[in-house]
Amino acid sequence: MTTPPPIPSSEITPPELYFNRRSLLRAGIVAATTASTAGLYRALNRPGAEEVKTPELVGLVKDRGDSTDPVEQANPEGAADPVEAAPAEPVDNGFHTDETLTSLRSVTNYNNFYEFTTSKERVALVSRNFVSRPWTVAVEGLVHKPKVFDLDEILKLSAPEERVYRMRCVEGWSMVIPWAGFSLSKLLDAVEPMGSAKYVAFETLFDPKRMPGQNYPALDWPYVEGLRLDEALHPLTMLATGLYGRELPAPNGAPLRLVVPWKYGFKGIKSIVKISLTENQPPTSWNVTAPGEYGFYSNVNPDVAHPRWSQATEQRIGESGRRKTLMFNGYGEQVAQLYTGMDLRRNF
Ligand SMILES: Nc1nc2c(c(=O)[nH]1)N[C@H]1C(S)=C(S)[C@@H](COP(=O)(O)O)O[C@H]1N2
Ligand SMILES: [Mo]
């Protein structure tokens, strides 16, 4: 289980795109405009990450067309070169969904972030003065090159890609969020995992003065999460440093958080300060709190009910009525092979 899975053909960039400079250029342009956010991308693009060095970006980001996103309309400078922008690449590979984006207002004002408060509607208020710079992330454990990264060093690892993922909370609501960031594998590659590493453990900042919810025992602090190494190395697994083309807002886990789109939202640990590679399966906060209700894997699965409610349907924020929840949150084509031969009811 320690080797990364083969990448499905749908995720492999055709070689002609790797070597076609026009396409690479277009990817850069489209990334900047799609994000609604040319300026924000510049802000996220630290020196050293200026060039589009990520061929996998080609074709992953597509123009959303006549967006009604107010942020986009406020950034007319993002208008694309008509020659370069004309033919949209057909895209449906998991990194981008065409489903309607959840509004920026909902994404940043309806949050689970117990370090601030257990009230979803109050997280934005309570976290409004949270200072997330300077910030360091220690990457350690079973790696050849352990390192304490400054946030800016992490941002330099890769130009930010925009990825529009579905997010399904275990409570039964969901959103569609345009993240900025890059595959966690880029950070893990930099520290060179040892052959003995089988899991990756993550930890949120513990600082009750800055995170007032930590003065209450809502959970065992700090919040911890974990993935199997092959899950962590999967290209869909993302270190998010922004959303809607801006730096990551405090309620969403500033300055950087994990996003694992085929798992329930609580696996997406926020405000990460430590990442450790381990041989044994690490403890995870919600599993420690209620082992019978939240498993280590927590893959979105409409067929396995939570002990207290069905997981068959979900409320998409901003929509009326409920929609069917999809196996692996709709990412089965990309990730199902990670779980071949596993009993997903037992390993819930
Ligand atoms: N550190 C930390 N990370 C966390 C949480 C939390 O309370 N603390 N809540 C989780 C839950 S339950 C969900 S659904 C998502 C919500 O992410 P969002 O607020 O950006 O939508 O964050 C997850 N990450
Ligand atoms: Mo959640």
- How close is the Cα of 25 to the center of ligand 1, in Å? 35
The residue nearest atom 10 of ligand 1, judged by CA position, is 266
For residue 286, the ligand 1 atom closest to its alpha carbon is 12
- The number of the ligand 1 atom at minimal distance from the alpha carbon of 120 is 19
CATH number at residue 175: 3.90.420.10
Higher pLDDT, 84 or 302: 302
What is the CA 157 to chain-centroid distance, rounded?
16
pLDDT at site 92 = 53
Q: Which positions ≥6 away from 123 have C-beta within 8 Å? A: 109, 111, 112, 113, 116, 117, 251
Residue 2 domain flag: no
pLDDT at 182 over 70: yes
Residues 213 and 202: their CA atoms lie apart, in Å, by 19
pLDDT at 10 over 80: no
- 326 Cα: distance to centroid of ligand 2 (angstroms): 16
Please check whether residue 33 is in contact with residue 77, taking contact to mean a CB–CB distance below 8 angstroms: no
Q: Is residue 9 part of a domain?
A: no
Chain-centre distance of CA 243, in angstroms? Answer: 10
Residue 299 lies in a domain: yes
Q: What's this model's pTM, rounded to 2 decimal places?
A: 0.79
Which of 103, 104, 112 for mutating ligand 1's site (highest number of atoms within 8 Å of CB)?
Answer: 112
* Residue ID of nearest Cα to ligand 1 atom 6: 113
CA-nearest residue, atom 20 of ligand 1 = 252
Confidence band for 93, pLDDT divided at 50, 70 and 90: confident
Q: Number of structural domains, the chain? A: 1
Cα-to-centroid distance, 142 and ligand 2 (Å):
29
Residues whose beta carbon lies within 6 Å of some atom of ligand 1: 111-115, 167, 169, 204, 223, 251-252, 265-266, 268-271
Q: Which atom of ligand 1 is nearest to the CA of 113?
A: 7
**336 CA from centroid of ligand 2 (Å):** 22
Q: In this structure, is residue 73 part of a structural domain?
A: yes
Distance 176 CA to ligand 2 centre (A): 14
Q: What is the pLDDT of residues 311-340, one digit of tens each?
A: 999 999 999 999 999 999 999 999 999 999
CA–CA gap between residue 265 and residue 262 (Å, rounded): 9
**Alpha-carbon gap, residue 172 to 174, rounded angstroms:** 7
**Ligand 2 centroid to 109 CA: how many Å?**
14
What are the φ/ψ torsions at residue 21 (nearest 5 degrees)? -65, -35
Q: Is residue 348 part of a domain?
A: no
User: Tens digits of per-residue pLDDT, 112-150?
Assistant: 999 999 999 999 999 999 999 999 999 999 999 999 999
- The edge-to-edge listing of strands for the beta sheet with 199-204 is 147-150, 136-141, 272-278, 199-204, 224-228
The terminus-to-terminus CA distance of the chain in angstroms comes to 17
Mean pLDDT of 175-201: 98
pLDDT band at 305 (very low <50, low <70, confident <90, very high): very high
| 56 in a structural domain | yes
- Residue pointed to by tokens 């958080």: 257
Three-class DSSP category at 314: strand
Q: What is the residue range of 118's domain?
A: 18-339
Residue 330 forms part of a structural domain: yes
Give the single-character DSSP code of 263: B
Residue 235 lies in a domain: yes
Which range in 9-23, 78-92, 195-209 is most confidently predicted, on average pLDDT? 195-209
Atom of ligand 1 nearest to the CA of 175: 21
235 closest CA partner among 2, 12, 1, 51:
12
For residue 166, pLDDT beyond 90: yes
Residue nearest atom 4 of ligand 1, based on CA coordinates: 269
Contact 302, 325 (CB under 8 A): yes
Which ligand 1 atom is at minimum distance from the Cα of 204? Answer: 1
Region for residue 46 given its phi and psi (left: phi exceeds 0; alpha: psi -120 to 50; beta: otherwise): beta
